[in-house]
């Protein structure tokens, strides 16, 4: 046996190995070398698909039918005011046909309803016109608070709480009675409502003026909180009540009632003052005195606490 | 009628021809193989050479193959990281949007964007998980591979919870949305832990490779 006999054998073996381990995998796109790595999915990696745009709501026509309501109320300076509110009938009807949401955590959506915003902004401007003097800011705020507190209280169970004289079809029947959170425009047209209706209307108006507010939910009551850095007026005969939420202080405001007295003995006429900011004890409700309310932000945006990507080192010393 | 046994005639009348006697040729005498000592040594030497070449070649090929496997794994991790950071860019921009003064419609649009990012993240992690998990790699790197796949799984789970949170928001079930976000946060923490495991496993694999005197693995293509 000589070298010339051995070399072809070796050359053949090398060719077979090269074809099997290099050429074939290269042609088929498989990894070069021994073994198979299984199937790798073909195609490009997924791309970001932005959300489909949602058509904007058609604004209600200016020249359509409207509900006109006149509110006679007392400002905090004692002066009697009359304010007219107009609400497009189509808007009111649309609200009445909208099913209510059972989860009270979402009721901030009623206060911030986009369709009601023009009505609220207009009303807030007229009740509390912009003041040149910053010291007047508190009076603007209290006028607005007092305006809502003077809207008559009426329970959701009562047909008198609705301008149609009957319960709306989307009223929610519960063990404790009827629940029907009203949009601000509904409350204005009906001219009455219960605690959550007043709280929703007041937060909507205050939000239109730029105040940061939340709803305060008790077991049998709803009020609102207004964000203030410090509120401890010297005239207050009480310790202003506030609740902390995300590091901010929200002071209690009652939406449905004010301090009132009969003008004279035997008279049905009354006079009064607004229930002040932070005056939780004055409401007389045991729940307000004893419970810590659940704070319901008007704007709810689910925000994750964790979302940071940790860079992974690459095998083989890559960056 | 009698029949001649040498020329049988069946009833059909066909005759079978008589076959000639076969003659078996004599086998030629094979030449006697005579192996000299030199030839025997050459044959043995050749055999030893072939075995040595096969062993050395196999070792080189095996080493080359392992390097290729690690390089492929590395490039898949690099591609995964690049795509995940693209998702993160979207997340970071989204999280920077102030939400204090949004209208209801803007809040809803914000959440639709959140849902789209969640879908994107879920698809990207599922895609790369499939690729990285299919990699065949040297045994020393299986721990790192397993940890990285686990990281992608947790990230995928986190994005799935985000999607569910966005869906709950759409259904006005904020309590469910909060629950899903809490679960998502947990999945994010599990992802971070898996990345830490991956780094540790990778370091161990590379130290093992260095101790064995293996060739340095080239960095993956940029």
Query: Cβ atoms within 10 A of the Cβ of B93, count?
Result: 11
Nearest residue of A to residue B209 by CA position? A316
Closest-CA distance of chain B to residue A44, Å: 9
Candidates A308, A312, A314: best to mutate against B (most CBs of B within 10 A) is: A312
Tell me the C-alpha to C-alpha distance, in Å, between residue B150 and each of B145, B156, B193, B198.
Answer: 8, 10, 10, 9
**Looking at residue B218, what is its pLDDT?**
47
**Looking at residue B22, what is its pLDDT?**
74
Phi, psi of B30 (to 5 degrees): -70, 140
The pLDDT confidence band at residue B222, using thresholds 50, 70 and 90, is very low
Closest-CA distance of chain B to residue A305, Å: 6
Residues in chain A within 8 Å Cβ distance of B107: 299-301
Least confident of A162-176, B47-61, B111-125, B164-178: B47-61
**Mind listing the pLDDT tens digit for each residue in B197-217?**
999 999 999 887 666 654 444
Least confident of A32-41, A120-129, B164-173, B178-187: A32-41
H or E element in which residue A271 lies: strand A270-274
Q: Which two structure tokens, joined as six digits, stand for A278?
A: 């932070």
Q: Which CATH architecture has domain A66-297?
A: Roll (3.10)
Pick from A98, A133, A130, A95: nearest CA to A116: A95
Task: Look at A315 and B134 and tell me if their CB atoms are within 8 Å.
Answer: no
In the stretch 219-248 of chain A, residues with CB closer than 8 A to chain B read: none
pLDDT in tens, chain A (319 residues): 566 777 777 777 788 778 777 777 777 666 666 554 544 555 788 999 999 888 877 777 778 899 999 999 999 888 899 999 999 999 999 999 999 998 899 999 999 999 999 999 999 999 999 888 877 888 899 999 999 999 999 999 999 999 999 999 999 998 889 999 999 999 999 999 999 999 999 999 999 999 999 999 999 999 999 999 877 676 677 888 999 999 999 999 999 988 777 778 888 777 778 888 888 887 888 999 999 999 999 999 989 999 999 999 998 765 5
Closest-CA distance of chain B to residue A9, Å: 10
Residues in chain A within 8 Å Cβ distance of B217: 315-317
Residue of A48, A312, A315 with shortest CB distance to B120: A48
Instruction: Give me the residue label for tokens 């010393």.
Output: A317
Q: Which residues, 6 or more positions from A241, have their beta carbon under 8 angstroms from its beta carbon?
A: A251, A252, A278, A279, A280, A281
Rounded Cα–Cα distance for residues A92 and A65 (Å): 11
Pick from A260, A252, A256: nearest CA to A277: A252
Rounded Cα–Cα distance for residues B156 and B170 (Å): 21
Q: Which residues, 6 or more positions from B38, have their beta carbon under 8 angstroms from its beta carbon?
A: none
Candidates B43, B46, B100, B146: best to mutate against A (most CBs of A within 10 A) is: B46
Residue of B70, B87, B116 with shortest CB distance to A315: B70
**Under 8 Å between Cβ of B159 and B94:** no
Q: If you average pLDDT over residues B18-42, what whole number do you get? A: 78
Task: Look at B219 and A317 and tell me if their CB atoms are within 8 Å.
Answer: yes
Query: How would DSSP label each residue in B163-185?
Result: HHHHHHHHTT-HHHHHHHHHHHH
Query: Cβ atoms within 10 A of the Cβ of A215, count?
Result: 27
Residue of B104, B181, B216 with shortest CB distance to A302: B181
Question: What is the four-CA torsion angle of A309, B100, B164, B77, rounded to 10 degrees?
Answer: -10
Tell me the C-alpha to C-alpha distance, in Å, between residue A68 and each of A86, A118, A227, B87, B133.
Answer: 4, 15, 32, 51, 68
Rounded Cα–Cα distance for residues B122 and B128 (Å): 10
**Under 8 Å between Cβ of A119 and A184:** yes
Sign of CA dihedral B170, B175, B176, B182: positive
Task: Look at A33 and B115 and tell me if their CB atoms are within 8 Å.
Answer: no
**Mind listing the pLDDT tens digit for each residue in B95-148?**
999 988 899 999 999 999 999 999 999 999 999 999 999 999 999 999 999 999
Rounded Cα–Cα distance for residues A301 and B108 (Å): 9
Rounded Cα–Cα distance for residues A317 and B77 (Å): 12
Closest-CA distance of chain A to residue B42, Å: 7
Residue of B110, B120, B192 with shortest CB distance to A301: B110
Orientation angle between helical segments A137-149 and A195-208, nearest 10 degrees: 150
Residues in chain B within 8 Å Cβ distance of A55: none
Rounded Cα–Cα distance for residues B147 and B201 (Å): 8
In the stretch 37-66 of chain A, residues with CB closer than 8 A to chain B read: 37-41, 45-51, 54, 56-57
Q: Which residues, 6 or more positions from B162, have their beta carbon under 8 angstroms from its beta carbon?
A: A304, B114, B115, B117, B118, B121, B180, B181, B184
Tell me the C-alpha to C-alpha distance, in Å, between residue A3 and each of A253, B47, B52.
Answer: 105, 11, 16
Residues in chain B within 8 Å Cβ distance of A314: 74, 77-78, 81, 219-220
Query: Cβ atoms within 10 A of the Cβ of B127, count?
Result: 20
Q: Is B170 left (phi over 0), alpha (psi -120 to 50) or beta?
A: alpha
Residue of B39, B91, B99 with shortest CB distance to A299: B99
Rounded Cα–Cα distance for residues B89 and B13 (Å): 100
């Amino acid at each position: 046996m000589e070298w010339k006999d051995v070399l072809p054998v070796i050359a053949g073996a090398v060719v077979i190995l090269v074809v099997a381990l290099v050429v074939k995998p290269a042609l088929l796109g498989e990894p070069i070398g021994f073994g198979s790595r299984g199937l790798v999915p073909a195609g490009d990696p997924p791309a970001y698909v932005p959300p489909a745009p949602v058509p904007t709501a058609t604004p209600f026509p200016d020249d359509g039918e409207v509900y006109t309501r006149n509110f006679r109320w007392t400002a905090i300076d004692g002066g009697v005011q009359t304010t007219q509110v107009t609400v497009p009938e189509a808007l009111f009807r649309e609200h009445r046909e909208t099913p209510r949401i059972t989860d009270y955590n979402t009721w901030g959506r009623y206060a911030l309803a986009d369709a009601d915003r023009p009505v609220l902004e207009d009303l807030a401007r007229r009740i509390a016109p912009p003041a040149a003097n910053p010291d007047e800011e508190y009076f603007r705020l209290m006028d607005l608070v007092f305006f809502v507190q003077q809207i008559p209280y009426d329970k959701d169970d009562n047909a008198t709480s609705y301008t149609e004289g009957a319960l709306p079809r989307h009223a929610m029947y519960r063990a404790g009675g009827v629940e029907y959170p009203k949009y601000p425009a509904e409350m204005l047209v009906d001219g009455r409502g219960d605690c959550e209706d007043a709280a929703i209307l007041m937060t909507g108006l205050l939000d239109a003026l730029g105040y940061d507010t939340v709803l305060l939910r008790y077991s049998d009551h709803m009020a609102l909180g207004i964000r203030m850095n410090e509120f401890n007026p010297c005239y207050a005969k009480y310790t202003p009540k506030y609740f902390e939420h995300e590091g901010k202080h929200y002071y209690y405001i009652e939406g449905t009632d004010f301090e009132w007295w009969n003008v004279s003995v035997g008279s049905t006429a009354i006079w009064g003052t607004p229930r002040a900011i932070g005056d939780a004890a004055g409401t007389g409700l045991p729940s307000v005195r004893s419970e810590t309310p659940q704070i319901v932000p008007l704007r709810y945006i689910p925000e994750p606490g964790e979302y940071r990507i940790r860079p992974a080192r690459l095998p083989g010393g890559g960056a | 009628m009698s029949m001649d046994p040498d020329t049988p005639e069946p009833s059909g009348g066909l005759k079978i021809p008589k076959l000639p006697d076969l003659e078996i040729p004599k086998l030629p005498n094979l030449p006697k193989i005579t192996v000299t000592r030199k030839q025997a040594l050459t044959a043995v030497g050749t055999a030893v050479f072939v075995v040595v070449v096969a062993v050395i070649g196999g070792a080189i090929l095996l080493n080359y193959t392992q390097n290729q496997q690690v390089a492929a794994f590395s490039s898949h991790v690099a591609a995964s990281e690049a795509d995940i950071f693209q998702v993160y860019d979207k997340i970071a921009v989204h999280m920077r949007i102030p939400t204090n003064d949004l209208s209801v419609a803007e809040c809803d649009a914000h959440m639709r964007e959140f849902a789209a990012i969640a879908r994107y993240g879920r698809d990207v992690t599922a895609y790369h998980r499939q690729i990285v998990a299919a990699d065949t790699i040297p045994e020393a790197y299986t721990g790192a591979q397993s940890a990285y796949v686990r990281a992608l799984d947790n990230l995928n789970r986190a994005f799935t919870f985000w999607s569910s949170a966005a869906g709950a928001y759409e259904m006005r079930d904020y309590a469910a949305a909060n629950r899903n976000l809490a679960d998502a946060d947990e999945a994010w923490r599990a992802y971070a832990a898996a990345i830490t495991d991956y780094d540790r496993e990778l370091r161990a694999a590379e130290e093992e490779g260095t101790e064995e005197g293996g060739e340095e693995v080239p960095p993956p293509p940029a």
